[in-house]
Structure 1
Amino acid sequence: MNFGRRMFIKGVAGIGAAATITGTASAADGGVQYIVGATGSGARDTVAHAGFSVRHELAEGSVLVVTGPADAAAEIESVGGVSTANPDVTLELNRPEPDAQADDEALPSEGAALTELQWDKQETDVFPAHEHATGEGTRVAIIDTGIDLDHPDLGNVNEELGRAIVAADDVPEVGPGDSGYHGTHVAGIVGATGEVGVVGTAPDTELIPIRVFPSDGGATFGDILAGIDYAAEIGADAANFSLGIPGVQRPGSAVNKLKAEIQGVFQSAVRRGTMITGSAGNDSGNLQQGGGFTLPNSVSAAFTVSATSPADTLSFYSNFGTSDVDIAAPGGYYETISRTSGETGEPDDLPFPLNAVLSTWPTDLTSSVGLQGYDLIAGTSMAAPQVAGLAALVRELEPDANVSQVRQAIQQGAEGANGKSSPEFGAGIVNALNTVESLTIGE
């Protein structure tokens, strides 16, 4: 395969989920969607009685997703039992074009044929960790664009439990299937079975697709939060969201007003036993000084993951900061663009695009590397699901462990940091073998 500079530039420009805020979230009837903080047990009824529509009641009633006319925030806040009301926002992903002539014969025919290209699993000792645990008996929810329900390496998807939670769903017939590509790639990193091409961190876990994106347009925070709440409702051991607002936000940002409700929903899920893994963001941003933050990951209930390279360095695009980053995991590319492209670096560096993360890809989309059903992309979007899969391995071995104990096991097994205070890596870069072996000593 010949990968030229044009392809490199195109690939770098499309790191992970290239998200943009496209504006205020609209309801299906053309109104505006609001994230509402509730203080009273009957807030849902009083808000509805005041003439507003309640789409979701989350976090045991402390957060509502409400639709109504434009500029109605003050009116909603005047309702009894309501503390805050802020307009929701919409996040939109860039999407590749479908391949009208997908080549079925390009799929590998037998075995996990592409594991030699899975440097991320090799760096984190995932394959030998499978001698101890594979995620059997666990469940991981993927809050994203959905999952390709027909992919041969994703036969562990539970379509029946899957959900489409979309404010203005333009493809309701798709259900929890993938309306784009991102969720399928993330799901494979967590739990691809290796039936054909690649192996995930937890190949025997049950994958739950929770689609929050339509095929055209963006996901709202309200639906992302509803997806997290649903994951906890069905007893998911982990819920991964590789999604977030672009750029490093400052305390005066309008979206800062949504933080309390996001934390409330996440805390509720954690109390119910669901660990939430989130990507740190792809803006090379400092989240350590000046009160910088991103959402929804910059809340304490989220386990936030930065991205590393095949050389165990912080990837050039990854956000960093001790205030946010809890752990690091492979996301692809090196610490500089020049090393990533091969202009500088070490003799044993992986060439672009092989220094990105290989995972499952919708079989009806073109693969940029000619491996139909598989593709290489990079981003903190690819780092977070490495940790969600590892959480499934921990829960298989310690099914009664609470979320704090799961997080602690993963952090104690990590490498490359002294304590938990590295601005780049948090507690370190995950190591699956270290983690599971620490749980099996004495068995």
Structure 2
Amino acid sequence: MISNTSNAFRPGEVIVRLKGDSASLASEGGFAAKYGATVADTFEFGTQGLLDKGQMMQLKLPAGLTTEQAIAKMKQDPSVAYAEPNFIYTLPKNEQAEAKQPAGAPAQQDGPAQFVPNDLTEDLWGMHNTGQNGGKADADIDAPEAWAIHTGRNDAPIIAVIDTGVDYNHADLKSNMWVNTGEIPGDGIDNDGNGVIDDVHGYNAFADNGDPMDGHGHGTHCAGTIAGVGDNGEGVVGVNHRANVMAVKIFSDEGSTDSAAILRAIEYTTKMGATITSNSWGGGGASEAQKEAFAASSALHIMAAGNNGWNNDFFPNYPSNYDIPNNIAVAATDRNDKKASFSQYGVKNVDIAAPGVDILSAKPGGGYQMMSGTSMATPHVAGVAGLVASMYPQATAAEIKEKILNGADKIEGLKTKVADGNRLNAHGALTWQ
């Protein structure tokens, strides 16, 4: 989970969007010139969710003009829809990782209509909880029941993991990675003309290049929950045994990012046709630019509710609190169907809960590790969203969201924590009509 509790920003930079009738001014560079600034980047998100077609830009300000001064001036400019800082975000310290090889006993079938793959072990309580290790039986997402119906497809709609990148060479992920067939790997040419060279498995939005390799671990862990290769006798199994996962790296291996990188990431996933995005990050103040970018995408965006334990109805968390139709905000539960102690919550602003404590998944370099957080709950939901999209490839974001929320288990102890007491149920999502 990324945070920006101090609302820090990059000095000397501004994110600005012009009004629709001012787009030509932006394309000619005239707007930046008015402020003595230079255009560092531009962003295009289509028109869905946008009120007009003004251009969004990242500006580098001239010496002597601060970010605060520039924003104050731009707010008085009739050609400006909004201007805001280029916010900085960092990974917090409260999602500690513990290296661990899958060592639990093989999971046992406990119902007639289940498929139990050979890499589903007792460690993966969130998928299948029979009461092991002090848990509560069935405090899980009913994954084996869902897998009896559908396990995913490699040609399924794209699931984009917007995070620290993904180890696309990991044995438990490699065959489930998205491949950009428009690129010739390693030729140093932007073959498909999308503005990124050699983006074979995704995009590094932080460095603005085609290599989204994970040097941190957070994103690979999320990807393993979404799509660890299933029934391969190795490691862990994801919600999708087979999938089409796009790696989108939004921050450095040291754990920092900014609004501009996030906007580039959303722009890329929109351009390249992602159906689902998984966003295990957030915190800090609202960004109008990020909200607009998410809203403009046709994808369904799964978003972590946060790890500070507070009520998001009173203390908003972004991006999960954005009031847009195509997102789902996710809290975390433990193996007893209780809200995790760290998880943020809110019956108005958190849509669903999912397993997020002691979650075993992949780590870069071929290993595995245990992590806890709403960051771990989010990919359970993103994985189910991907499974629904795989089974119903024509489903819209609204229809996938409807299936997930209506197919959820209604847990009495969560009814004061998340909307309707929803706890994720993969079987319910696949079967809800």
TM-score (norm 2): 0.76
Q: What is the CA-CA distance between 1:400 and the residue it aligns to?
A: 1.7
Distance 2:377 2:309 in 1: 15
Q: 1:202 aligns with which of 216, 232, 240?
A: 240
Q: What is the CA-CA distance between 1:22 and the residue it aligns to?
A: 6.8
- Residues 143-179 of structure 1: CA deviation (Å, up to 9, x unaligned): 110001221100112361400111xx4xx88920003
Q: 1:44 aligns with which of 10, 16, 26?
A: 26
Unmatched runs of 5 consecutive residues or more in structure 1: 1-16, 247-254, 333-355, 364-371
Distance 2:120 2:389 in 1: 27
Q: 1:388 maps to which residue?
A: 382
Q: 1:132 aligns with which of 149, 158, 174?
A: 149
SS in 2 for 1:376: strand
SS in 2 for 1:121: coil
Distance 2:25 2:371 in 1: 44
Change (3 A) 1:320 1:98: closer
Q: 2:361 maps to which residue?
A: 359
2:362 is aligned with what amino acid?
A: T
1:404 is aligned with what amino acid?
A: A
Q: Is the 8 A contact 2:2 2:89 kept in 1?
A: no
Q: What is the CA-CA distance between 1:326 and the residue it aligns to?
A: 1.0
Distance 2:57 2:5 in 1: 18
Q: 2:84 maps to which residue?
A: 86
Q: Is the 8 A contact 2:201 2:212 kept in 1?
A: no
Q: 1:238 aligns with which of 276, 279, 289?
A: 276
Q: 1:268 aligns with which of 283, 289, 296?
A: 296
Change (3 A) 1:145 1:390: same
Q: 1:404 maps to which residue?
A: 398
Q: 2:309 maps to which residue?
A: 284
Q: 1:182 maps to which residue?
A: 218
Distance 1:89 1:208 in 2: 25
Distance 1:54 1:44 in 2: 12
2:423 is aligned with what amino acid?
A: I
Matches within 5 A, 1:92-103: 92-93=90-91
- Between Structure 1 and Structure 2, how many residues are aligned? 362
Distance 2:177 2:144 in 1: 21
Alpha-carbon RMSD: 3.0
- Residues 41-94 of structure 1: CA deviation (Å, up to 9, x unaligned): 335324344433141313335562413223322344455632221112111125
Q: Is the 8 A contact 2:202 2:248 kept in 1?
A: yes
Q: 1:59 aligns with which of 33, 42, 45?
A: 45
Q: Is the 8 A contact 2:164 2:217 kept in 1?
A: yes
Q: 1:157 maps to which residue?
A: 177
- Residues 122-162 of structure 1: CA deviation (Å, up to 9, x unaligned): 11111231222223222100111000122110011236140
Q: Is the 8 A contact 1:329 1:387 kept in 2?
A: yes
Distance 1:179 1:327 in 2: 30
Change (3 A) 1:378 1:64: same
Change (3 A) 1:87 1:205: same
Q: 2:322 maps to which residue?
A: 299
Q: Is the 8 A contact 1:76 1:82 kept in 2?
A: yes
Distance 1:390 1:63 in 2: 35
Change (3 A) 1:309 1:211: same
Q: Is the 8 A contact 2:177 2:244 kept in 1?
A: yes
Q: 1:141 maps to which residue?
A: 160
Distance 2:267 2:121 in 1: 34
Q: 1:425 maps to which residue?
A: 418
Distance 2:378 2:54 in 1: 27
Q: Is the 8 A contact 2:158 2:245 kept in 1?
A: yes
Q: 1:377 maps to which residue?
A: 371
Change (3 A) 1:98 1:436: closer
- Residues 280-317 of structure 1: CA deviation (Å, up to 9, x unaligned): 0001111223xx20112110222101111111111111
